[in-house]
Structure 1
């Protein structure tokens, strides 16, 4: 049998060709280059998309159907009931209403940080590597400086210097994006250095195409899986970092997030008082959201590294072969038994 496992380290541009070769060996119809750059619908991907979809739907639609989360009542720390399905806080505020608004706030911060960090990493990683020379060296030095700076202490220091009245969602998002783009930039730089010397990129240069068009048409499409993976990771890191900042009292002061819910629950002694309905729901939302994004990231990894998908396709083929062989042996045994009974 032909060995289709790559003998050299694969790169993003080789993924469609390798996956087409495996599909041909398994007797499947080769997929187009565009389809090969999309994740395969696996149980992990379906589970991840389901979790993210439900949480996003709750955060987007939920605030329109819940009570006012700021209303104070004289029923502090009430357990879940028909009137308050997730109980109340120490000041009688509805936890379910707070959870809906807090989920929306955390999703907004995660999305903002993901977009900003991806743009920064793409600018310093792709543009510098394509131009080369002094620009590449300067961008690499700038990225290395941010890499060696401890991320969490820097975020705490920057957030601490921002006045509480000015510490909104955008401020927290910018701070987290500034401190979280450097590692992704190094990965994009390495991939761009590998792609920029390929024949189709050189042909575009020789034909007189502008640098911007070469990057946008020839290089960027091959980096989309890496960018998608980095975006997903940036969203996860942003939500966790914001929750940590809010728990320390450095979160968005004029907005509600899952981190601020945990902060107020800790200040209200929810754990010593046994008010589990106050701190478990926001923590569970963070955990489920991170799990869903991680499962999606696993599917994207199969595009970045074709070996992962090749191994899964080989396992699928072997399982199919074993089932077919078992069915054949069972059928042969039944046929032999029938012939002996007839004789």
Structure 2
């Protein structure tokens, strides 16, 4: 664990993204301690501007925006990480199984994956959410998780097919090791970067998709989340009446967590991808050479 963190901290993008994500996680965990109001109760005048007492203002119903922002962080992150875990588990199981065993199993699972890839995800999510009705956040996480695994399965399968032909896998098969041990001990450690990339990308997609569904009114109106904050601000014409703070808080949260997860995703990709590591080393060498040339020219000009 500490070795992994040390590798992450050597990459500037991954470090910046990790700090942003950890800050949001800490805020979500500390929600009862950093807020003094109930997110569902009226504690101020309608559309009260930001002040010392209410730092992010209030909604049309007189609810504290800061309190809703903090508790909404807990809900949105819970949905994001839950759906990301579902997507990663299903995609990894299907991808590794298809890539390792091949034959009829590969053809069957690949056929199912292709069907899932062809179906447009957002319209499917809208139909399912509308069919179920007012979906609570946990139900939204399940819906997204069960409909968004295909891309991860395809990428994992491709990487497994490459590893399947490696000498260490063939050697394990020759000495009679069972398939489950080969998959868990030989293949999975070499797939960790792909699995991590899939998980982080799924969390980003889930948070944005959840906000989209709830903004369209397909979520549970009683749940406190960033998407419902946007929905309530839109239905109360917050921008029209000049209550811009109602829209600013959830938009800032979604954009910031998206940037943090994307930076972490790019950093993990650079760390795990040998080509990107080589390109980064070349860029550093070029910059160092340019700096040396400039210093040399400056010293030569001063001497003359």
Inter-CA distance 38–127: structure 2 relative to 1 (3 Å threshold): farther
The CA deviation at 1:163 is 4.2
C-alpha separation in 2, matches of 1:64 and 1:80: 21
- What pairs up with 1:144-159 in 2 under 5 angstroms? 144-159=114-129
Give 2:14's aligned residue: 45
2:82 is the alignment partner of 1:122 = no
Q: Is the 8 A contact 2:9 2:15 kept in 1?
A: no
RMSD of aligned residue pairs (Cα, Å): 2.1
Give 2:196's aligned residue: 228
Q: For residue 217 of structure 1, give the secondary structure of its aligned residue in structure 2.
A: helix
Q: For residue 324 of structure 1, give the secondary structure of its aligned residue in structure 2.
A: helix
Q: Is the 8 A contact 2:39 2:224 kept in 1?
A: no
Which runs of 5 or more residues in structure 1 are unaligned? 1-33, 338-343
C-alpha separation in 1, matches of 2:133 and 2:298: 75
The CA deviation at 1:192 is 0.6
- Which structure has the bigger radius of gyration? 1
Which runs of 5 or more residues in structure 2 are unaligned? none
Give 1:161's aligned residue: 131
2:252 is the alignment partner of 1:288 = no
2:164 is the alignment partner of 1:196 = yes
Question: Out of 310, 313, 334, which is 2:281 matched to?
Answer: 313
How many residues matched?
A: 301
2:34 is the alignment partner of 1:65 = yes
C-alpha separation in 2, matches of 1:229 and 1:308: 15
Q: For residue 50 of structure 1, give the secondary structure of its aligned residue in structure 2.
A: helix
Deviates more, 1:111-120 or 1:312-321: 312-321
The CA deviation at 1:324 is 3.4
C-alpha separation in 2, matches of 1:329 and 1:269: 62
Give 1:246's aligned residue: 214
Give 1:7's aligned residue: none
The Cα offsets for residues 63-119 of structure 1, whole Å up to 9 and x where unpaired, read as 432111111246100000111111111111111001111111000000001110000
The Cα offsets for residues 272-298 of structure 1, whole Å up to 9 and x where unpaired, read as 111011111101110011011111111
Runs of 4+ in 1 over 4 A off after TM superposition: 37-40, 328-334
- What pairs up with 1:1-343 in 2 under 5 angstroms? 38-39=7-8, 41-66=10-35, 67-73=37-43, 75-164=45-134, 167-328=135-296, 330-331=298-299, 336=303
